Amino acid sequence: MQEILKVINLTKNYLKNDHDFKALDNINFTLKKGDSLAIVGESGCGKSTLANILIRLETPTTGEVLFKDKNIHQYSRQELKQFYLQVQMVFQLPQESFNPRQRLGDSIIEPLLNIGTNKAQAKQILDDLLTKVALPLEIKNKYPHQISGGQCQRCAIARAISIKPQVLICDEITSALDTITQMEILNLLLKLRQELDLSIIFISHDLALVQKLCNKILIMYQGKIIERGLTSEILKNPQEEYTKELINICS
């Protein structure tokens, strides 16, 4: 399978109380086309810092993130524009990623308008996007505060897939939702992964969730990857005590 994203010897240090704090310590992994990769660990293990570096919201202290064999942190402006057409991120709190004064429909089509799609065509695409994420069409006229968290997260997913990316990075996107809504969002991602041929990085603290969506898994602890492999094999035969603890919490 084709390698899409490759992380090589990635570290991230922060200055904390006049000392270096290593949030990420020598991270290495590869995302291949069609993969659904879970990155799992407790709060503070470094997984969200990693996500931010993968999408260029932060820069690494050392190491590289290669997208199709080129370091994303050395991109030209034009290369960066192309990168964001192919890699999109969905965040934990969807209401905070939308303009509260803008109707959701206008927010969802914004990426389309930014790449030159005319407004009439973008509005037609909007209806198709809302259908894809199982939302009623009238939701496009509402504001973020007028809908539920689950509906708002579906809107965020619709916006992310509007420009047909190859990679979708999901950072704790179900953690603020109730159990039923979490499963609905996971089922939606499964469907979109197949329909759109997406590669997914799914960041979570919950092993029970990721086993439904992800075929591969990385376990993070204190900034390091301590275990990796096929999700089914890791859950059946974990090698690290920390992984066993995570499994026990979810069982």
43 occurs within a structural domain: yes
Residue 199 lies in a domain: yes
What CATH number does residue 230 fall under?
Answer: 3.40.50.300
The CA-based diameter of the chain, rounded to the nearest angstrom, is: 56
In a domain, 57, yes or no: yes
Query: CA–CA separation, 189 vs 197, rounded Å?
Result: 11
Does residue 113 form part of some domain?
no
What is the pLDDT at residue 251? 67
pLDDT at site 170: 96
Output the 3-class SS for the chain: CCEEEEEEEEEEEEEECCEEEEEEEEEEEEEECCCEEEEECCCCCCHHHHHHHHCCCCCCCEEEEEECCEEHHHCCHHHHHHHHHHEEEECCCHHHHCCCCCCHHHHHCHHHHHCCCCHHHHHHHHHHHHHHCCCCHHHHHCCHHHCCHHHHHHHHHHHHHCCCCCEEEEECCCCCCCHHHHHHHHHHHHHHHHHHCCEEEEEECCHHHHHHHCCEEEEEECCEEEEEEEHHHHHHCCCCHHHHHHHHHHC
Asked, for residue 66, whether it belongs to a domain, the answer is: yes
Note the Cα 201 to chain centre separation in Å: 5
**Number of separate domains in the chain:** 1
Q: What is the pLDDT of residue 208?
A: 84
What pLDDT shows up at residue 44? 87
Is 126 inside a domain boundary? no
Distance from C-alpha of 7 to C-alpha of 29, rounded to nearest angstrom? 5
pLDDT per residue of the chain (251 residues) written in tens, 0 to 9: 689 999 999 999 998 777 888 999 999 999 999 999 999 999 889 999 999 999 999 999 999 999 989 999 999 999 999 999 999 999 988 889 899 999 999 999 999 999 999 999 999 999 999 999 999 999 999 999 999 999 999 999 999 999 999 999 999 999 888 999 999 999 999 999 999 999 999 999 888 889 889 999 999 999 999 999 999 999 999 999 999 999 888 76
- Domain assignment of residue 160, yes or no: no
- Domain membership of residue 157 (yes or no) is no
Q: Provide the domain limits for residue 32.
A: 3-101+165-250
Q: Indicate the pTM of the whole model.
A: 0.94
Residue 10: the pLDDT is: 98
